[in-house]
Amino acid sequence: MKDFACCSIATIREGLRVGEFTAREVAEQSIARIEAIDPTINAFLETTPEAALAQADQVDAAITAGNFDTLGSLAGVPVAFKDNMNQKGTHTTCASRMLENYVSPYTATCVQQVIDAGALPLGKLNMDEFAFGSTTESSAFGTTKNPWNTAHVPGGSSGGSAAAVAAGMASLTLGSDTGGSIRQPGSFCGVVAVKPTYGVVSRYGVVAFGSSLDQVGPFTRTVHDAAVALNVLSGRDTKDCTSQQCTIDFTEGLDRGIEGMTIGIVPAFMEAEGLSHEVRSAVESAAEQLRSFGAQVVEVDLPHAAAAISAYYVLGPCEAFSNLSRFDSVRYGYRDPGHTDLGSQYEASREKGFGLEARRRIMLGSYLLSAGVYDTYYYPAQQIRTLITQDYKQAYEKVDCILAPVAPRTAFRFGELSDPTSMYLSDMFTISINIAGNGGMNMPVGLGKESGLPVGVQLIAPAFHDENMLRVAAALEVAYGSAPIAPDFANQKAGA
């Protein structure tokens, strides 16, 4: 039996085209593989076999009718979605007790685009509650395990999305990134993970954490697959005023090489306190590879990047406080029983419905937006945001792409970082990209020499020039290869 969820998009499409297998076989084997593997990983919060089989039958009917060329670019591809993305008829819980029983009445634009392209929807994926976290430990429904070592975290908040691809349970998953929540789990789990420029992908139907920071992006095992997914996801959506028209074919230029490109290195990132030796070595090795391919590697300065974490943990909680205010136990969300007055019902419902990290960020956001505090913190944070954005703009006058670490270290053990401040610092290299709105991605570059766990490098593109980082990633893929399935699951067959 073929493990189709371990296959690339191109492999699946070619197999369907020549009649090597059917889309229904892809769906059935993918569902069976999830049933066999996910009890160990806990990447899925809900599976949707009926939807996957129904979509597969439509794909097969089109092929039988001789209409293969009319099918979308994701026809027959097993996919899954982070559980903050609405899909009609499924639970959209955001991994929170607050939304445990909520069933989506509509479908998010990004989910609909993928389904319309012919993909087989396998289910919804685990995450940190409301995307607050870097490990999936804040999920109300149990943690997701890292397929490379189940004693280690998969990263977060899109930990389920990264782990599902790393374990070969889906060829493509979607995640969301507010401060590194695509790139960091992509690095920890050793998969290609792309956060496009803010506005490239519609956010309509994605439960918001920080509305000015959130962006949806794909997890895959090859750069080409990520580019195909971005072609499907990108574009103007009339339901999202922040989305932008996009006419780029992200697959073009992937095989052009990078000779003549200029790649930037940020010395402050490479000298940052807490950056492990194996991560620094991986970035330096990647830089040497890029030089060998004909790129020029130069130093660039981002003088205000050190203030990014401080600004983010003002802006993020403020926007989270605003976005979570709708969960009031009256319109929808968890309602604590037995209360005779609205005030006590509201207080008890939010206390029991939200987890510790969600309550922490709500309280922080409430304080930061209060009278007398707003001018002290929120307004200066927005000023820092402007300065960081200007820093990146000036850097891109000299370079086509920036190479940097993704996380200070490889995946750590569960419980190893119990202090919230230490956990927040794990996003020290990713947050500034969300603040500026640029595109960024993780490219896996092998295993750390000390940890034996995946290491990724971050590629950062100018705003609305995400093709630059994909082109550089494709060059690195020539040197390092595409992302492998985690060894413990590489040979595990569906139903085994």
The catalytic residues are: 82, 157, 181
Phi-psi region of 131 (alpha: psi -120 to 50; beta: other; left: phi over 0): left
Distances (CA, A) of 65 to 62, 69, 70, 209: 5, 11, 11, 44
- State how far the Cα of 159 lies from the Cα of 152, in Å rounded to an integer: 11
Q: Among 300, 306, 290, 303, which Cα is nearest to 266's?
A: 300
- State how far the Cα of 325 lies from the Cα of 39, in Å rounded to an integer: 34
Contact criterion met (CB below 8 Å) for 334 and 100: yes
Q: Among 431, 470, 419, which Cα is nearest to 183's?
A: 431
Contacts of 344 (CB under 8 A, 6+ apart): none
- State how far the Cα of 142 lies from the Cα of 153, in Å rounded to an integer: 12
Amino acid identity of 144?
A: T
Amino acid identity of 304?
A: H
Tokens 């569902």 sit at which residue?
31
Tokens 């670019």 sit at which residue?
73
